Amino acid sequence: MSTLLIAGSPSERSRSAALLDAVAQRLTVRGALVDRIHVRDLSPQALLLADTHHRSISQAVAQVAQARVLVVSTPVYKAAYSGVLKVFLDLLPQTALQGKTVLPLATGGSPHHMLALDYALRPVLQSLGAKHILPGVYATDAQVTVTPEGAYTVGRDIATRLDDAVNLLVTETLRPSPAQATRFAPVPFSQVRCSV
């Protein structure tokens, strides 16, 4: 089972990428297989022209198809997720997320944009057929700071929320519950025998 991390920032290094890295570290420690797509690394021309036959696009779409879990990270611009991410999501087939669990992550300049996760990104993920969209994690610029060396550091409060989100992701999706593990296969009615 693979978990696909989708970085939806147009920048190579960003706060939203830092959130994604923090989730990747937590998943790896828990034994999950992690793969990643940086949307900014896909062919810009193929993205804008909706060329789904372009090698970089077809490979990314195949990665989405193979993953059971997706973690989508984006900066929030003008109260919506990034245009780069929007263009990529538009290229996915209508049922691309069918049966999949998605954890959305976002960063923005202030807490005023936190509803972009629920009112902008979540409806698109639902329209693509996601089975379960976990509660998202939103961080402000003050919660993901830049060190003097230029690295991003996730604040303690956001780290705790990421711990909770990854724990929920692992317990509900990546590991079957004991009830699921011991569940019997269904028996067709024609095979049911009873005596009185």
pLDDT value at residue 90: 95
User: Each residue of 11-40: pLDDT tens digit?
Assistant: 988 999 999 999 999 999 988 899 999 999
Q: What is the pLDDT of residue 114?
A: 86
Domain membership of residue 196 (yes or no) is: no
Inside any domain, residue 39:
yes
The pLDDT value recorded for residue 147 is 86
- Rounded Cα distance between 103 and 101, Å, is 7
Number of domains in the chain: 1
State pLDDT tens for residues 78-111. 889 999 999 999 999 999 999 999 999 999 988 8
Q: Is residue 151 part of a domain?
A: yes
Report which of residues 180 and 135 the model is more confident about. 135
- The answer as to whether 75 is a domain residue is yes
The predicted model gives 35-53 an average pLDDT of 95
Q: Within a domain: residue 117?
A: yes
Predicted TM-score of the model (pTM): 0.85
Residue 185, in any domain of the structure: yes
Does 156 reside within a domain? Answer: yes
Average pLDDT, the chain: 89
Domain span at 106: 2-191
Residue 54 placed within a domain: yes
What is the CATH number for 51? 3.40.50.360
Res 169 pLDDT > 70: yes
